[in-house]
């Protein structure tokens, strides 16, 4: 009888470790994906620091790890301002670039 429990316990342990290994692999893969994405980013135009892709308001922005500068791809600023039509930033953006409206 105790052999059955031993086997059951062993199977549960194996399942546990298999799941842990799977989680560790997933984390590693995600880290490698992030590194590959970062390697494709150009250096910061201002200070040559490394740009790191982060997410702001569901829009991916590139932030410099050295000077903290934020860089937007074409269209991203419009995406951000479009969500906030009444705010000061949208008003500033529209006053600076009226031909874009
Ligand atoms: Zn920089």
Task: Express each pLDDT in 34-84 by its tens digit.
Answer: 777 767 788 899 999 988 888 887 888 899 999 999 998 888 888 877 777
Residue 60 shares a structural domain with residue 77: yes
**Cα-based distances in Å from 18 to 9, 14, 29, 80:** 14, 6, 16, 43
Query: Tens digit of pLDDT for each residue in 59-72?
Result: 888 999 999 999 98
Residue with tokens 């934020």: 70
The pLDDT score that the predictor gives to residue 97 is 67
Residue 10 shares a structural domain with residue 52: no
Q: Does residue 59 contact residue 76 with C-beta atoms inside 8 Å?
A: yes
Residue 100 shares a structural domain with residue 58: yes
Residue 41 tokens read as 């980013």
Residue 35 shares a structural domain with residue 66: no
State if pTM tops 0.75. Answer: no
Q: How far is 41 from 62, CA to CA, in rounded Å?
A: 8
Residues with CB under 5 Å of ion ligand 1 are 44, 46-47, 49, 64, 66-67, 69
Residue 35 shares a structural domain with residue 48: no
Residue with tokens 């105790």: 2
Residue 89 tokens read as 């930033």
Cα 34 to middle of ligand 1, angstroms: 19
């Amino acid at each position: 009888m105790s052999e059955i429990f031993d086997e059951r316990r062993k199977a549960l342990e194996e399942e546990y470790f298999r799941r842990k290994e799977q989680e560790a692999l997933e984390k590693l893969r995600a880290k490698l994906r992030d590194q590959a994405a970062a390697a494709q980013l150009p250096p910061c135009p201002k200070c040559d620091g490394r740009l790191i892709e982060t997410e702001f308001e569901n829009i991916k922005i590139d932030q410099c790890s050295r000077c903290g500068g934020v860089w937007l791809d074409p269209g991203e600023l419009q995406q951000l301002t479009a969500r906030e039509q009444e705010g000061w930033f949208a008003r500033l953006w529209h006053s600076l670039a009226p031909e874009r409206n």
